[in-house]
Amino acid sequence: MDKNQLYLLELHKQTDSRIESLRSYAEQNNVPIVDRLTLDMIKQLIRIHQPQQILEIGTAIGYSSMQFASVSSDIHVTTIERDEAMLTQAKNNRTTFGFNTQIRQIVGNALEQFEQVNDRVYDMIFIDAAKAQSQKFFELYTPLLKEGGMVITDNVLYHGFVADIDIVRNRNVRQMVKKVQSYNEWLMNNENYTTNFLNIDDGLAISIKGASK
């Protein structure tokens, strides 16, 4: 980790919320929750953009959904997860931290939950599930995103592999990294969205629907 990043992480510790206590659990149990500085970037985007309805693909233990909901009591998050063990923990965490009314949990494969979430229009979509599927999630759910809404995709630089695929030996990882590369290019060239990519943590893409070029 570089010096600036370490410095900023230390600085941010001064404003740790109660929810942040889940980070050490996540690290010990290899749950890939959104990185700390990325989280603060997204929360700041939420303060600027003021989304009321957020759709999240990939709940895990509920960390990011609760962090987003904590920005304002006007925010409602619909979040999709397929893993039973994660779902149990997310539910417990929502109860512990008091987010049961602001967060709606959808259970199942996110490639198949359109009918469960199309009862509303979303102001923001956070894509953070299986990395090889990001484009599929984007294509499936963005018809529910309002004009001017934003799609945030996490891990678009995946472990530094996306910029340097030659270092990847494992075949499955290589396949996944290729998909991330192709997603990034597709996003960049998508005429209906304006996207910018941030070289922060594991890489973040911020796409605005219908924004002029």
Alpha helices in 50-156 (DSSP H): 63-69, 84-97, 114-117, 134-141
Closest CA to 136 of 159, 113, 157: 113
Candidates 128, 134, 150, 207; binder of ligand SAH (CB under 6 A) is: 128
Distance CA 8, CA 200 (A): 12
| Positions in 182-201 near ligand SAH (CB under 6 A) | none
From Mg ion, ligand SAH, none, interface partner of 155 (C-beta below 5 to 8 A by class): Mg ion
Q: In this chain, which of 8, 12, 25, 32 binds ligand SAH, going by CB under 6 A?
A: 32
Among 19, 54, 64, 153, binds ligand SAH (CB under 6 A): 64
Annotated binding residue at 154? yes
Half-sphere exposure of 65 (CA within 13 A, CB side): 35
Under a CB-based contact definition with an 8 Å cutoff, are residues 44 and 22 in contact? no
Work out which of 71, 111, 173, 200 binds ligand SAH, going by CB under 6 A: 111
- The partner in contact with residue 51, picked from Mg ion, ligand SAH, none with C-beta cut-offs of 5 to 8 angstroms by kind, is none
- Of the candidate spans 41-49, 108-116, 179-187, 193-201, the one that interacts with ligand SAH by CB under 6 A turns out to be 108-116
d(CA 106, CA 74): 20
- Alpha carbon distances (Å) from 46 to 11, 15, 68, 107, 175: 21, 17, 8, 25, 33
Q: In what order do the strands lie in the sheet with 76-81?
A: 103-107, 76-81, 53-57, 122-127, 145-154, 204-209, 193-198
- Is 155 annotated as belonging to a binding site? yes
Told to check if 155 binds Mg ion by CB under 5 A, we report yes
Give yes or no for residue 152 binding ligand SAH (CB under 6 A): no
Which one of ligand SAH, Mg ion, none interacts with residue 78, CB within 5 to 8 A by kind?
none
Q: Is 81 annotated as a binding residue?
A: yes
**Should residue 58 be labelled a site residue for ligand SAH when binding is judged by CB under 6 A?**
yes
**Interface ranges with ligand SAH (CB under 6 A):** 32-34, 58, 60, 63-64, 80-83, 86, 109-111, 128-130, 133
Annotated binding site: 34, 64, 81, 128, 154-155
